[in-house]
Amino acid sequence: MASEDGDWLELATPTGGTIRVLKAAHPRARRLRLTVTPKGARLTYPNGTHVAQMTAFLRHHAGWLEQKLGEFHLDAVPLPSLRVGVPTTFPFRGEDVVLDWAEGTYPRVDHEPGSLVLSIPRPHTRALLVARGLLATHFEAQIRRDVSRWLPAYIPQINAAPTALRIRPLKSLWGSLDTRDRINLDLALALAPPAALRYVLVHELCHLKVRNHSPRFWHWVESVFPDHKEQRAWLRANGSALKRQLDRLIADVAD
């Protein structure tokens, strides 16, 4: 059962709990869309959608919603905020690295063994925003380097190629393939072990052949990347932590 409370809907879950879902109209929305992030659940809907349709939609997805919220461990200890000049540790390519700070003549990131060094020029006007932008650019460049090395081997196996590669923070997905055969990858995959990124890439490449998750699709994935089950399990176990880390590192840089 679901009830309305201003901008929120409350949903009774199959296990007896209650979930609050933020509802938000979007002028370009064509359908109901439910997303889960480390900040909670959100229902986006087209203008004019009746509350009864929203509640029915939530009831239909109640089990999935409760599972996804559990994966994000919303009661976890908050991560330390990114602060200029204060070193912090985070995962990068599956290994913990120390983010350190330095002064330089121009903004840049230097990747050294076990650390990333952010150089920020004086004066430190808007230094935090500059730092977040540097990190986002560095993460994207790393993913593109990895993908550019792997694609030449995978394209002949699949006998298909994407038309473009887009990398950005994704709220609940790791990747997607759109109707124009463009692959979207989550920027948080830069923090994961390369094998996890490779699995997501192969997953989306295989959707070029099969647009669903039927046994035929998983046969394609298995034939191209036999270790896919291990990497899929790793992302399920650790993915929410990666997304939380990315959010604190590059918040306000990109949606």
Encode burial over 127-166: b for 16+ CB neighbours within 10 A, e otherwise: beebbbbbbbebbbebbeebbeebbeebeeebeeebeebe
Query: 228: which 2 tokens?
Result: 């896919």
- Cα distances (Å, whole numbers) of residue 244 to 3, 147, 177, 247: 29, 23, 24, 5
> CA 3: distance to chain centroid?
30
What would the mean pLDDT of 85-91 be, rounded to a whole number?
93
Nearest CA to 221 among 234, 202, 193, 194? 202
Predicted confidence at residue 70, as pLDDT, reads: 67
Among 72-86, 117-131, 179-193, 229-243, the range scoring the smallest mean pLDDT is 72-86
- Of 59 and 180, the one with more pLDDT: 180
pLDDT digits (tens, 9 = 90+) for 174-230: 999 999 999 999 999 999 999 999 999 999 999 999 999 999 999 999 999 999 999
How do beta strands 88-92 and 8-12 pair? unpaired
Predicted confidence at residue 136, as pLDDT, reads: 96
Predicted confidence at residue 75, as pLDDT, reads: 47
Identify the helix (H) or strand (E) that includes residue 250.
helix 228-250
- The model carries a pTM of 0.74
Cα separation, 247 vs 233, whole angstroms:
22
Q: Rg of the chain's alpha carbons, rounded to an integer?
A: 20
Among left, alpha and beta (phi > 0; psi -120 to 50; other), residue 94 is left
Query: 57: which 2 tokens?
Result: 């939609």
